[in-house]
Amino acid sequence: MHNAVISTLLNHRSIRRFKPQSLSEEQIKLLVECAQAASTSSFTQSFSIIGVEDSAIKKELREISGDQPYVEENGYFFVFVADQYRNKQIGERNGADTSVLDTTQRLTVALGDAAFAAQNMAVAAESMGLGICYIGSIQRDIERTAELLHLPDYTFPVFGLAVGYPDQNPEKRPRLPFENIFHKNRYEEKMSQEALNQYDQKVADYYHTRTGGRRDETWTKQIAQGLSVPPRLALKPYLEKHHLGRR
């Protein structure tokens, strides 16, 4: 059953170093077309894609993201935007009451649409021999990101997607065992501890190999440590200010 598509999916690794070669116009258009082919909630297509080519903007986004070089140095940089502004405009032109657009349900729909589209683009890119890395940290200063990209109300920047020709070939990062992700008929609160322990060892081995012994960390330890990162509390007020998820 391992056809070319499944092989592409299972072979995913995030790429964080790209060759200095830009994507062609044709590649960009094809990637966007693939993104658009994804499912969209009630056919609303509640997302937009911003292609960031301006080097000054890329440099600023790199800073916002905590100085990750691959935000600036890549083949192309896309920002996926959850977008109810287009629907707002269309509704107003048709004399419709657009107040539903400020609901949490519509916010999650737009976020879902953006994520489906982005994942399609990621898969398409990898099938073309390109590598990708999602950049959630463009939200580290969401006000500044939105300002740079001139985002209107009813939209927010969900993540960036760096795409380009890989200049590294990292190992695949092991995923949680099937029994820790999959539940039959009902959510099983009790985690399969044995599977989790084995997984912890697998992740520790992965880091050990990848860093030549400098890092030796289990997955659960990494998760626990990640909880101490200061919370990004700017997102909720940003959304509400811009008419998203108010109720």
Distance CA 245, CA 247 (A): 6
Q: How many residues bind its own copies (CB under 8 A)?
A: 116
Q: Which of 61, 81, 162, 163 binds its own copies (CB under 8 A)?
A: 81
Helix (H, G, I), strand (E, B) or coil at 128: coil
Q: Which of 71, 122, 138, 163 binds its own copies (CB under 8 A)?
A: 122
Pick out residues in 40-79 that bind its own copies (CB under 8 A).
41-45, 47-54, 57
Distance CA 181, CA 176 (A): 7
Question: Of 62-70, 162-170, 208-216, 229-237, which segment contacts its own copies by CB under 8 A?
Answer: 229-237
Query: Residue 212 burial (CB < 10 Å; 0-12/13-18/19+)?
Result: exposed
Residue 97 or 213: which CB sits closer to its own copies? 97
Tokens representing 5?
A: 């598509």
Q: Which of 21, 105, 197, 198 binds its own copies (CB under 8 A)?
A: 105
Angle between helices 193-210 and 219-226 (to 10 degrees): 90
CB of 223 to its own copies, least distance (A): 5
Q: Which of 23, 64, 132, 162 binds its own copies (CB under 8 A)?
A: 132
Q: Which of 23, 64, 71, 124 binds its own copies (CB under 8 A)?
A: 124
Distance CA 116, CA 59 (A): 27
The amino acid sitting at 201 is Q
* Residue 125 to residues 18, 39, 94, 137, 157, Cα–Cα distance (Å): 13, 18, 38, 21, 21
Distance CA 175, CA 203 (A): 9
Question: Of 66-74, 133-141, 162-170, 208-216, which segment contacts its own copies by CB under 8 A?
Answer: 133-141
Residue 168 or 225: which CB sits closer to its own copies? 225
CB of 208 to its own copies, least distance (A): 16
Distance CA 116, CA 49 (A): 12
The verdict on 109 binding its own copies (CB under 8 A) reads yes
Residue 149: which H helix or E strand, with range? Answer: none
Pick out residues in 136-195 that bind its own copies (CB under 8 A).
136, 139, 148-152, 155, 158-159, 173, 175-176, 178, 180-187, 189, 191
CB of 167 to its own copies, least distance (A): 19
